Amino acid sequence: MKIKIVHTSDLHGYFFPTDYLDRERKAIGYLSLLNNIKKDEFTILTDGGDTLQGSSFAYYVKEFMNSEILADMMQNVDYYTLGNHDFNYGYDYLKNYTKNMRGKLLCANVIDKSGEINLANYAIKEIKGFKIGIVGIVTDWVNLWERKENLENFEIKDSFETAKEALNKLKEEKTDFNILIYHGGYEIDLKTGEKLSDTNENVGGKIAKKLDYDLILAGHQHMELSGKIDNTFAIETPANGTKAAVIEIDTEDKKISASFIKPKLEENYLIKKYESIEEKVQDYLDMPIAKLSRDYLPEDKIKMATEGSALADLINKIQREYTSSDISITSFANVVSGLKKNLTTRDVLNTYRFPNTAIVLEIDGKTLRKALEQNYTYIEYDGEYKIAKRFLEPKEEHYNFDFFYGISFELNLKKESGNKIGKIYFKEREIKDEDKFSIVMNNYRATGAGGFDMYKKLKVLKNYDKEISEILLTYFRNL
């Protein structure tokens, strides 16, 4: 007998065949993936989370509707876990989503202290006498990244230890095959075994080496990966509904084979059911909101990092004015559209693509220098400038380079890390170690994420509830 697992992860609100950069239909989106999935009694559909946030469609639903729409679109999923971004819009929004899901929520390392979300540690699916144990966990770095108010009702435990405890429970149940749905990735190269990261954000490799799950269905890193780590088959799907992983299990010898399927551009009943809402989203995105003096477009990433970016300067200027801060920093998602002269809502939401809020910290000159040195580890020089490997592998992390505004500084990228920054100036005066300033950044960076540990213990001067994308939209609408 052969059992099939179809796994998606990190859909980020991409249900329809569009990337929302324009109105064109493209081979993307969960609903189009369903056209290539045939579900029967031998097929299990799983999802690894990060469903509620990311696309313009997800933003529109959050602003004007509610999450039961997304749950209905995910009605074919049998078992799913939560991703770190599923906490972004607060407890009630997440609760409404989970209560309307038909599939079973497995997230063993998340405890809902209010008891209103039905979180199971594991499930057992029996097909013709073959017992499959399924566990779900999310990276415990949610504790680091998420806004405190969104986690008030939750306790999020250590990912590895919880995966270990859940597996022991499955063994007591005498399961034949054990699966981990993990919203996290692999800290090692699946081909070479090379260690790629020393953090605990992604522990898929550690789980595979030290525990004995038969199969890990990963996500979070937005990569297409497939291979074996010791005796565990490891797989991960790319983001935004561009592909799904298909795993076949031969129950006789537990042999596993895997492939990836792409979306198929055809109509289906869910696309037809919600196409009127999709049209409203597209119309909303095309609404003109301002006329700028020029286009502000992204350029080559190395050029922007070494020479600066007018687009980043504009966003920083708005952040600094909104918060009355001395210094502002911002970063870009891996892909952004830029702001066109005839500005639309689409331009703004496709340029600032994070659900982050603004936070103002107090920083001294010494800490500011440390932050700048860390920031410019992004660029290396070996006869030519290039982006450092750790920002590209195991996944692209261009969003962990920040553009600074309100200061100037001497920069020599040919020097070794730790000595690239010379004198730093504020209002043409050289900054001393003990000088203090207010600096605005997004709440993600303020946690120290991306290697910026120096921000973690800084004094918070002000927190803002409004998302930065909303701050930008309001600014442009008022021009």
What's the CATH number where 468 sits? 3.90.780.10
- Dist. CA 223–CA 185, nearest whole Å: 9
User: What domain range is 452 assigned to?
Assistant: 288-478
- Whether 27 and 135 share a structural domain: yes
- Whether 267 and 302 share a structural domain: no
Handedness of CA 198, 200, 205, 207 (dihedral sign): positive
Token couple for 301: 């990433």
Q: Which amino acid is at 145?
A: W
- Whether 365 and 264 share a structural domain: no
Of 281, 298, 329, the residue that ends a domain is 281
- Whether 138 and 255 share a structural domain: yes
- The closest alpha carbon to 246, from 269, 215, 213, 221, belongs to 215
Instruction: Report which DSSP code applies to 221.
Output: S
The DSSP element (H or E) to which 365 belongs, if any, is helix 365-375
- Whether 268 and 299 share a structural domain: no
Distances (CA, A) of 299 to 99, 307, 311: 43, 10, 9
- Whether 120 and 78 share a structural domain: yes
Per-run averaged pLDDT (10 residues), the chain, 479 residues: 97 96 94 96 97 94 95 98 96 98 98 96 97 98 91 97 98 97 93 84 95 97 93 96 97 94 96 96 96 97 96 98 98 95 96 92 98 97 92 91 98 93 97 98 92 94 90 95
pLDDT tens digits, 380-428: 998 899 999 999 988 899 999 999 999 999 999 999 989 999 999 999 9
- Whether 236 and 346 share a structural domain: no
- Dist. CA 402–CA 332, nearest whole Å: 8
Domain count, the chain: 2
Torsion from C-alpha of 396, 397, 403, 404, nearest 10 degrees: -160
- The closest alpha carbon to 46, from 127, 103, 120, belongs to 103
- Whether 197 and 310 share a structural domain: no
- Whether 359 and 439 share a structural domain: yes
- Whether 244 and 101 share a structural domain: yes
Per-residue pLDDT at 133: 98
- Dist. CA 273–CA 196, nearest whole Å: 44
Of 251, 266, 281, the residue that ends a domain is 281
Of 218, 252, 281, the residue that ends a domain is 281
- Whether 324 and 458 share a structural domain: yes
| Helices and strands, number each (H, E), in the chain | 14, 26
Q: What is the DSSP string of 263-324?
A: ------HHHHHHHHHHHHHHHHHT-EEEE-SS-B----HHHHHHH--HHHHHHHHHHHHHHT
- Whether 216 and 311 share a structural domain: no
Instruction: Supply the CATH number for residue 196's domain.
Output: 3.60.21.10
